Structure 1
Amino acid sequence: MSTRKDLAYSVRWNLLLLTVGSALFALGAQGIVARHGFLTGGIYGIALMVWYHTHFLSPAAWYLLCNIPLFALGWLHVGRRFLLYSLYGMLATSLFAEVFQGVNLGVHDQLYAAVASGVICGAGGGIMLRSLGSGGGLDVAAIILHKRFGLGIGRFGFGFNAVLFTASLVSMPVDTVIASLIQVFIAAVTMEYVLALFNQRKVVFVISEHSRRIGHDLVSELGQGATFLQGRGGYSGDDREIVMTVTNNVQLKRMEELVFTVDPEALFIVENTFTVLGGQFARRKVY
């Protein structure tokens, strides 16, 4: 487990995640989104909008220029490690977007294009967010505002994109704006899925008359941590110990078998949890 944690904090691993993620995002943005005149959310959406109206420079160049003042402010208000990784992510995104400027992935139908670009850009964004940094842009601005004024990061992102797409109705066809909204929605769902794929865990509660033995077997046979919670039966009023542990999908079936081997009458409760930090699991991301 310590090796896994060391890998998650290694410079090479984080640069790899940022490189792969930025390449995917740029491929979707330039190979599909820009070809159909869509907007992505965030700062890259601003860059695309400016490029559509001016055809001066490129979306990659506008993205880079829009990020410069954000990173200048971030240097004063955001942690150095997060900012430097995000700077790399932003530069990599700009570079790949410039390289992929002439790429056309050949998706012609507008709806298919919105779906495909949403999946590709969302996957890229999710991979970048699994690192200790981000792709820059709106993430840096949101963290600055959160630290300075307590504004929720998700709330700021939603508000920013709402203003962006409302403004786009003035100069863009309604069908294109709707397709862009579909793209942003699918990208957000894909991003959440990619993050969950890396980090989703199961919280397991076991209520049994043999909780001590079950807890011991979880530790000795499966190498799981276990915590005893004090509970009381609603009907009997008897005090009892509830076993709580956190596991993954791979271990879950083995854990179920172990519990019911010890006590066929046990109550086995499983809940999904998105993030588990501390202990033998991941460390928190410091902004």
Structure 2
Amino acid sequence: MLKKFAIIGFGSTMIGIGINGFILPLHIINGGFFGISLLLKYILGFKVGMTFILLNIPVYMYAYKSDPEYFFNGVMGAICSGIMIELLVPLNGMFHLSVLSSVIIGAVIIGSGVGVMLRNHISPGGMDLLALLIAKWSRMNVGLIMFVMDAVIIITGLFLLQDVKLFYSLVIVAIVGLLASLITTRNIE
């Protein structure tokens, strides 16, 4: 149980650092419910972490009916991730890098946090939890499933915000998906 809390703490902190330090200041988005939460922040001024937690409620209900273990892990992962995003808001604007550097560093940090959590069957919530459930049933790679869902969210963001800079979000999704895929499939002894 202590290992699970350490993994959730590490993954949630990495997600909070990546979003607040590198993604949010550029007004670009990530995929999944993080991306939807960021879109709602840019459009309506919602708090990213709290919106993320609220968006997860339907997925929690679905996961509870299908697989209670994923449900409990998802609840812990999503709540901790949402809280860490809110706690680490002071990182917004702290780093002054080029857009491409911020995108790559932010994506690597987020992807590492998400990948470590998913490798241990702990979801940061949202679509990652849904991707874990789909991967379990279909035997498809969870990183590939996440990439497809995230690409749809980013394309939606492009239409809503009409900001060319959002194309960088595709790089974020690709890196996060690749890292999650590598971390969840690599045999680490």
The question of a shared fold, defined as TM-score above 0.5 by the shorter chain, is answered with yes
Gaps of 5+ in 2: none
| Residue number in structure 2 paired with 1:126 | 115
Change (3 A) 1:120 1:146: closer
Equivalent-residue separation in structure 1 for 2:119 and 2:133 (angstroms): 20
Counterparts of 2:162 and 2:90, CA distance in 1:
23
On the 8 A contact 2:112/2:180 being kept in 1, the answer is yes
In terms of Rg, which structure is larger? 1
Corresponding residue number in structure 2 for 1:81? 69
Count how many residue pairs are aligned between Structure 1 and Structure 2: 186
Q: Give me the whole-angstrom Cα distance separating, in 2, the residues matched to 1:25 and 1:146.
A: 22
Indicate if the aligned counterparts of 1:14 and 1:132 stay in contact, CA closer than 8 A: no
Between the two structures, name the one with larger relative contact order (CA 8 Å, sep ≥ 6).
2
TM-score w.r.t. length of structure 1:
0.59
TM-score (norm 2): 0.86
Q: CA deviation at 1:12?
A: 1.0
Q: Matched residues in 2 for 1:182 and 1:123: separation?
A: 15
Distance 2:83 2:34 in 1: 13
**1:8-45 Cα shifts (integer Å, max 9, x gaps):** xxx11112111111111111011111111111111111
C-alpha distance in 2 between matches for 1:17 and 1:147: 21
Q: Cα RMSD over matched residues? A: 2.3
Match of 1:136 among 125, 140, 143: 125
Per the TM alignment, residue 139 of structure 1 is displaced from its structure 2 partner at its CA by: 2.5
Q: Label 1:22 to 1:178 Cα distance change in 2 as closer, same or farther (>3 A).
A: same
- Is the helix fraction higher in 1 or 2? 2
Richer in strand (by share): 1
* Structure 1, unaligned runs of 5 or more: 1-10, 201-247, 249-287
* Candidates 34, 54, 59, aligned match of 2:44: 54
For 1:93, the equivalent position in structure 2 comes to: 81
| Aligned residues with identical type, % of pairs | 24
Counterpart in 2 of 1:108? Answer: 97
| Pair 1:158–1:116, CA change in 2 (3 A) | closer
